[in-house]
Amino acid sequence: MSGVSDAPRQQQAAPAGEPVEVVRVVVPRRSARSELRAIKVVWRRELIRFVNDRMRIVTTLVQPFLFLFVLGGGLQQLASAGTHGVNLKTFLFPGILCMAVMFTAMFSAASIVWDREFGFLREMMVAPVRRSSIVIGKCLGGATVAAFQGVIVLAIAGLVHVPYDIGLILGVLGLQLLLAFAITAFGLAVAIRIKQMQSFMGVMQMIVMPMFFISGAMFPANGLPRWLTVLNRLDPLAYAVDPMRRLVFSKLAISPAARHVLDPGLTWWGWHVPAVLEAGVVFALGVVLLLVAIWEFSATD
Amino acid sequence: MSQIRTQDPDQPAIAVSKLVKRFGDFEAVRGVEFEVAQAEVFGFLGPNGAGKSTTINMLCTLLKPSSGSARVAGYDVVRERDDVRRHIGLVFQDPTLDGYLTAAQNLQLHAELYGVPSALVAPRMRQVLEMVGLWDRKDGPVASFSGGMRRRLEIARGLMHSPRVLFLDEPTIGLDPQTRRSIWGYIRELQQREEITIFMTTHYMDEAEWCDRIAIMDQGQIVALDSPEALKAGVGKDRVTIQTDDNEEAISALREHFGVDARVSEGAVSFGVAGGEQFVPRLFAELGLPIRGVSVSRPTLDDVFMAFTGSTIRDAEEDPSKHRNRVMLQMMGGRR
């Protein structure tokens, strides 16, 4: 009798499936490899969150599509005389490619404010890794997500009469990645100082919208009033919009006259800035802002 | 597989010497000294603003001490910060989970951040999740978890990398009594199974009884440190609670006839006195007021706290003049 009742009792003492041995872990010392791994972990978290949050993928597409189809479609009637027969939506497309990336990148950077508000930042900050690894991971993660968003916009190129050319696609991708990186770094440098989401959104509204409008994403950047020309040349986003437009226009079958008006290229005191240098400006700015973000983050408690 | 460089068993898990933290010219922690043995459950007790969180933040390398030193798991918290971090687990007062991720993803992320060897991640995850009873919820998004489940998950996460010292800052705050009890069950089980040192803060007196030893902290200093039993024995007084029709009159009568200081607590008059059971007959004979009910209990940690600080925890938290420090601390971000 006792043998029968013993069996279940023994099973209870060691619940099914529970390993008898305690699984012990030894955390390795910090090394270059552990820092790389930390960057990867933070990066991947951004991606997982992005994929899990389908609403965000949709909502961040609303604005670029509004600008492209509603504003572009509506203004077409007014603009047809000035665009030499080129559809306004086609003209706007490169700017919209930049816009989609820009807004997503800013939103990605905002996640560090969320993380602080919801406490997760602390979990990362007490881990045996460098603060810089966390910032770099955040930046790369945000940039990847933003570039992905850009790809979705790129996919509709056919709707606005832009050909699906392999060189064009690769070039746009590269520029989008570059822009996404620089804007995320910029967003992080701002966001690290900010403790509340509301303030961050306010600051972003104040910075992002002017930057977008001044960049020339919505109009050719020549023949502008003097003050606007100065602001345009100071706007980092202009150096992403211009090569993007050059790239797209180089694949369009349009008259040289139209091209000259719509895609004049950026000039410094009359000198045409080469696309490579423009891309370089964006990259250098991204690196500097990333360093600022790292420095700021390391200085906080 | 599991070679672990064990610490010399005679060495304390935590050794703190003359630890001081100043915020501006306010001293939040004023020369604290204590040692915690390995595999001990050590409780830090005191009202909000007593300096508990500031001390814990210095021990887990989140705050730099103004002066003094502390060693955790054999490493200096300032000079060997990363080594300390590799050997401690943390459960904060405020939640630090990623609500967008599932329970398993949160643990996975933590394991990778700490560099847990990938072959050990899955078995270890299962072990810690089973311990806190969340194994069957591992693929549920954390956003859908209740407060108690989240706290349990945080404890599981803090254990993923087999820390030698687990810091719990108010682990049961804001939880219902049943969940609090089950969390204490996990903590005791953990301490036995993994021989881990547990350092925790609380301001629930009843919870402190679960600890092997308690340090009572008030206004930045440790005012008492011993086992709960020894502390209670040290008070030497029993707690007598009486129900009367007029509490105010009873309090003044008690002072007049017996020279004891009583106060009203939860609608009844309560006071401490040596040999409580022998005191009750005298009370009925000499008080001169009708008594409707009486109870005598052994001293609680509340009485201990009272004996050492002159106020109850709750009073200490409610008295703004004595503890204006708390507000200052928060203003200076001392709780972060």
pLDDT tens digits along B309-319? 777 666 666 55
Clarify whether residues B209 and B246 are in a common domain: no
Residue A17 vs residue B95, higher pLDDT: B95
pLDDT digit string, tens, across residues A78-126: 876 677 778 888 889 999 999 999 888 988 888 888 888 888 888 888 8
Residue B10 lies in a domain: no
Interchain contact A118–B (C-beta under 8 A)? yes
Is residue A108 within 8 Å of residue A187, measured between CB atoms?
Answer: yes
What was the pLDDT predicted at B4?
Answer: 45
Cα–Cα distance between B209 and B228 in angstroms, integer?
6
In sequence order, which ranges of chain B are alpha helices (DSSP H)? 52-59, 81-86, 103-113, 118-131, 147-159, 177-194, 205-208, 228-235, 247-258, 276-286, 301-309, 313-318, 324-331
AA identity, residue A272: H
Tell the burial category of B321 from Cβ atoms under 10 Å away from its Cβ (0-12, 13-18, 19+): exposed
Clarify whether residues B122 and B199 are in a common domain: yes
Cα–Cα distance between B174 and B183 in angstroms, integer?
13
Clarify whether residues B48 and B182 are in a common domain: yes
Cα–Cα distance between A102 and B264 in angstroms, integer?
63
Residue B159 lies in a domain: yes
Q: Is the pLDDT assigned to residue A181 strictly greater than 80?
A: yes
Residue B11 lies in a domain: no
Residue B181 lies in a domain: yes
Residue B320 lies in a domain: no
What was the pLDDT predicted at A254?
Answer: 81
Interchain contact A3–B (C-beta under 8 A)? no
- CA within 13 Å, CB half, A300: 21
**SS3 at position B22:** strand
Clarify whether residues B226 and B293 are in a common domain: no
Share of chain B above pLDDT 90, in %: 36
Q: How many residue pairs bridge chain A and chain B with CB atoms within 8 Å of each other?
A: 110
**Token pair 């699984």: residue:** A23
Interchain contact B61–A (C-beta under 8 A)? yes
What was the pLDDT predicted at A33?
Answer: 86
Q: Is the pLDDT assigned to residue A299 strictly greater than 90?
A: no
The confidence band for A16, taking pLDDT boundaries of 50, 70 and 90, is: very low
Clarify whether residues B59 and B202 are in a common domain: yes
Range in A64-68, A258-262, B16-20, B66-70 with the lowest mean pLDDT: A258-262
What residue spans define the domains of chain A?
33-299
Residue B317 lies in a domain: no
pTM over 0.80: no
Q: Is the pLDDT assigned to residue A133 strictly greater than 50?
A: yes
Is residue A142 within 8 Å of residue A182, measured between CB atoms?
Answer: no
What was the pLDDT predicted at B319?
Answer: 54
Interchain contact A37–B (C-beta under 8 A)? yes
Clarify whether residues B179 and B45 are in a common domain: yes
**Token pair 């009637």: residue:** A77
Residue B306 lies in a domain: no
Q: Is the pLDDT assigned to residue B144 strictly greater than 50?
A: yes
Q: Is the pLDDT assigned to residue B67 strictly greater than 90?
A: yes
Nearest to A97 by CA among A148, A22, A24, A139: A148
Is residue B275 within 8 Å of residue B238, measured between CB atoms?
Answer: yes
B130 interaction partners in chain A (CB closer than 8 Å): 15, 17-18
Is residue B330 within 8 Å of residue B61, measured between CB atoms?
Answer: no
Clarify whether residues B89 and B119 are in a common domain: yes
Clarify whether residues B77 and B184 are in a common domain: yes
The confidence band for B330, taking pLDDT boundaries of 50, 70 and 90, is: very low
Q: Check CB contact under 8 Å for B160 and A120.
A: no
The confidence band for A40, taking pLDDT boundaries of 50, 70 and 90, is: very high
Cα–Cα distance between B212 and A279 in angstroms, integer?
64
CATH number of the domain residue B294 falls in:
3.30.70
- Distance to chain B for A28, nearest Cα, Å: 6
- B326 — phi, psi (to 5°)? -60, -45
- Output B320-323 pairs: Cβ under 8 A, ≥24 positions apart: B322/B219, B323/B47, B323/B48, B323/B49, B323/B219
Measured between CA atoms, the residue of chain B closest to residue A30 is B82
Interior/surface letters A69-100, b for 16+ CB within 10 angstroms, e for the rest:
beebeeeeeebeeebeebbbbbbbbbbbbbbb
Domains in chain B, number: 2
Which residues 6+ apart lie within 8 Å of B88 measured at CB?
B60, B72, B73, B163, B164, B165, B166, B167
Could you tell me the two tokens for A242? 């211009």
What was the pLDDT predicted at B326?
Answer: 43
pLDDT digit string, tens, across residues B199-242: 998 877 777 888 999 999 888 999 889 998 888 888 778 888 88
Interchain contact B97–A (C-beta under 8 A)? yes
Q: Which helix or strand (DSSP H or E) is residue A131 part of?
A: helix A131-154
Clarify whether residues B73 and B208 are in a common domain: yes
Q: Is the pLDDT assigned to residue A6 strictly greater than 70?
A: no
pLDDT digit string, tens, across residues B158-171: 999 999 999 988 88
**SS3 at position B274:** coil
Range in A170-179, A260-269, B62-71 with the lowest mean pLDDT: A260-269
pLDDT, mean of residues B15-33: 92
Plot region of B72 (φ>0 → left; ψ -120 to 50 → alpha; else → beta): beta
Residue after which a domain boundary falls, among B231, B266, B289: B231
**SS3 at position A25:** coil
Residues 106-125 of B with CB under 8 A from A: 109-110, 112-117, 120, 123-124
Give one DSSP letter per residue of A219-258, joined into a string: S-SSS--HHHHHHHHH-TTHHHHHHHHHHHHHTS---HHH
A122 interaction partners in chain B (CB closer than 8 Å): 92, 94, 96
Q: Is the pLDDT assigned to residue B189 strictly greater than 90?
A: no
What was the pLDDT predicted at B177?
Answer: 82
Q: What is the dihedral of CA B197, B201, B206, B211, to 10 degrees?
A: 20
Give one DSSP letter per residue of B231-267, joined into a string: HHHHH--EEEEEEES-HHHHHHHHHHHH----EEETT
- Distance to chain B for A56, nearest Cα, Å: 13
Range of the domain at B209: 34-231
Strand-pair category, B67-72 with B75-76: antiparallel
- Distance to chain B for A188, nearest Cα, Å: 19
**Token pair 């609403």: residue:** A55
Cα–Cα distance between A245 and A248 in angstroms, integer?
5
B98 interaction partners in chain A (CB closer than 8 Å): 45, 49, 118, 120, 123
The confidence band for B49, taking pLDDT boundaries of 50, 70 and 90, is: confident
Clarify whether residues B220 and B283 are in a common domain: no
Residue after which a domain boundary falls, among B231, B262, B281: B231
Residue B239: how many other CB atoms lie within 10 Å: 20
Q: Check CB contact under 8 Å for A26 and B160.
A: no
- Distance to chain A for B166, nearest Cα, Å: 13
Interchain contact B35–A (C-beta under 8 A)? no
CATH number of the domain residue B173 falls in:
3.40.50.300
What was the pLDDT predicted at B318?
Answer: 59
How high is the mean pLDDT of chain B? 84
Nearest to A298 by CA among A198, A169, A188, A214: A188
Clarify whether residues B243 and B223 are in a common domain: no
Interchain contact B192–A (C-beta under 8 A)? no
What was the pLDDT predicted at B336?
Answer: 37
What was the pLDDT predicted at A52?
Answer: 81
- Distance to chain A for B94, nearest Cα, Å: 7
Strand-pair category, A271-272 with B88-91: unpaired
Could you tell me the two tokens for B273? 């006195």
What was the pLDDT predicted at B317?
Answer: 61
Clarify whether residues B163 and B47 are in a common domain: yes
